[in-house]
Amino acid sequence: MLTISKPTRDINGDITLEGSKSISNRVLIIRALCDVNFDIANLAKAKDTQTLDQLLNQSISIYDAGHAGTTYRFLTAYLALQNGTQTLTGSKRMKQRPIGGLVNALRDLGANIEYKEKEGFPPLIIGEPEIKNTKAELTISSHVSSQFISAMLLVAPYLPNGISIRLQGKVVSRPYIEMTLSVMREFGAQVTWNEGLITVAPKPYRARDYKVEADWSAASYYYEIVAFSTTSNLQLNGLFDDSIQGDRAIAELMEPFGVVSMFNREGVLLTKGMRIGNMFEEDFIECPDIAQTMMATCSGVGQFGVFRGLDTLSIKETDRIAAMKAELKKVGVAIQQLPKSWELVAGEPAYSCKGIAKRLEESVVFQTYEDHRMAMALAPLCMLVGEIQIEHPDVVQKSYPTYWEDLKQIGFKINWTKL
């Protein structure tokens, strides 16, 4: 259990963010495929990335990805091209997350994959591949996880004739696919994406040293903090204005909440400006990982919100919509489903005389549902509602292990209690 509070709403400091987990995981797969070692600077310290790095370097045939969804999907495609027979498993929650779309696509390429337990779900037994010596052409629904598509793209340069993937329908999490293609190009891959058709030539990667940019997903929680602040002078190091990460969108999304981004040589300086408007509406189909951040932000400032494009949130580490609905209810916020969106009703701002701060008779306790983003998105609410408690706060190890220590640097009071 962790207790967190913030005595004032002034935010000042300098935070150097860790490398992007999403980019790190892609580069690790590329390095493994290169079969030539090269240096990766600023590799993410996230548990998911460390797990992938460890599994790619192990000598035993049983691979346990734990809770790491990206790690599991990327390893499925990577192991499908390797010699021998491997078992790929994960946590109890991982066994509830569908993998059938990726398995079916890999089987079409000649992969030898069987389900060890439930059809369509982990764990998998992956045997010797029989890769077809013809041009691989696949048609895939764009509504499947972008991780499935990225997993296939990453290994595509090692198929005998490359691959052509036609995406049907509106693409889910498009920036993550674009990120994959961008990183692949950095290592010499020949890739194109025209009118829904992605083509990858059969040209192996070229090994080169690589530096991972800082994580925009992690930065989103500081944008939330500044949105709740009275004054701010917060420097976030390692971020690029022209980032390949889709969560870079947080900078624009937070402008109406009074968060001003000033990019500089080291990263971005966040200051507090004037809040504009009293309604928030956004489609998160391209940046689902910052939806929880924006839900918490709307809740804190008392802003009505309409959230669309949450298609993938129910199959993440937890059902994120259900989890946010349950936890925000504790501070007087309602989330209800509309025909094509979700509506968030927050009422008065938390810091007003009529807001949720006055309705809390004791410290609120937030559950985390084994989901790192639940903990990190809900914690900043302590700036407005007073002391709060976070159960199982160590879930942040998944993507941002130093989150709590970094919050201390900018004035948050944090105490750990053993349950």
Active site residues: 289
Strand-pair partners of 124 = 88, 115
Pairing mode of beta strands 231-237, 10-16: parallel
State whether residue 363 is helix, strand or coil. Answer: coil
CA-nearest of 280, 270, 266 to 221 is 270
Contact 99, 75 (CB under 8 A): no
Q: What SS3 class is residue 333?
A: coil
Ordered DSSP codes for 113-174: EEESSSTTSS-EEE------SS-EEEEEETTS-HHHHHHHHHHGGGSTT-EEEEEESSPTTH
Helices (H), ranges, 229-380: 250-253, 291-301, 320-328, 372-378
Residues 232-247 as b/e (b if ≥16 CB within 10 A, e otherwise) read bebbbebbeeebbbbb
Burial of 354-390, coded b for 16+ CB within 10 Å and e otherwise, reads ebbbeebeeebebbbbbbbbbbbbbbbbbbbbeebbb
Tokens found for residue 271: 């200051």
Instruction: Tokens for 8, please give them.
Output: 């004032």
Cross-strand bridge partners of residue 194 = 197
Are 411 and 385 a contacting pair, CB within 8 Å? no
Structure tokens at 392: 């199982």
CA-angle at 390, arms to 67 and 408, nearest 5°: 100
234 touches 201 (CB < 8 A) = no
The residue whose two tokens read 């049983």 is 62
How far lies 301's CA from each of 12, 125, 281, 415, in Å? Answer: 20, 49, 15, 26
Q: Cβ neighbours of residue 88 under 8 Å, at least 6 residues apart?
A: 63, 65, 72, 75, 76, 79, 122, 123, 124, 126
